[in-house]
């Protein structure tokens, strides 16, 4: 069920997506409200589930990690419950999605070098319930965003 957002909510979201450290007073000045009103709006957006968290976006390259490797996983559906638990034990798998298509899972692997990736992928291939793996190594990031599509904002504003 979609939550209804007004112009003020969308301006708040846009500001926080651009910079999660945006001050409530800065947003309030932009909109013409008080910082207390903005704080209440943000709390309301959290309660409604619109904002699940405000986080930092790490530059993994600077921290010494390779570009991410996406792993498409085809699994035996009947073994997925146990398989999900095993996959969660791999701390280098920082994201895991259930998807539609030939492969039913998509994992994001972050490691320091390709040798480490090779070892992790070999371990994954041995897990009970995994039928097949396909890897996609990111060469470069061309677009990254945590924003709403412009069309979504324009319809509301």
pLDDT in tens, 77-113: 999 999 999 999 999 999 999 999 999 999 999 999 9
The domain 58-157 is classified under which CATH number: 3.30.70.920, 3.30.1180.10, 3.40.50.2000, 3.40.710.10? 3.30.70.920
- Cβ neighbours of residue 125 closer than 8 Å, sequence gap 6 or more: 133
Looking at every residue in the chain, the average pLDDT score rounds to 91
Burial of 83 (0-12, 13-18, 19+ CB in 10 A): buried
φ, ψ at 6 (rounded to 5°): -100, 180
Q: Where in the chain is CATH 1.10.10.10? A: 7-56
Q: Where in the chain is CATH 3.30.70.920? A: 58-157
What whole-number distance in Å separates Cα of residue 148 and Cα of residue 35? Answer: 23
Question: What is the helix (H) or strand (E) element at residue 94, kind and residue range?
Answer: strand 93-98
Please tell me the class of the 7-56 domain: mainly alpha
């Amino acid at each position: 069920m979609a939550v209804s957002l007004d112009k003020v909510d969308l301006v708040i979201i846009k500001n926080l997506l651009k910079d999660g450290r945006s001050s409530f007073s800065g947003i309030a000045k932009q909109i013409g409200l008080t910082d207390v009103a903005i704080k209440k709006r943000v709390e309301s957006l959290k309660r409604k589930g619109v904002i699940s968290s405000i986080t930092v976006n790490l530059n993994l390259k600077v921290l010494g990690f390779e570009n991410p490797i996406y792993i498409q996983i085809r699994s035996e559906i009947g073994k997925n419950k146990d398989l999900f638990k095993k996959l969660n034990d791999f701390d280098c798998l920082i994201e895991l999605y259930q998807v539609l298509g030939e492969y039913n899972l998509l994992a994001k692997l972050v490691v320091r070098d390709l040798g480490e990736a090779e070892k992790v992928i070999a371990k994954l291939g041995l897990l009970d319930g995994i039928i097949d793996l396909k890897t996609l190594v990111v060469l470069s990031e061309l677009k990254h965003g945590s924003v709403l599509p412009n069309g979504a904002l324009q319809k509301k504003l």
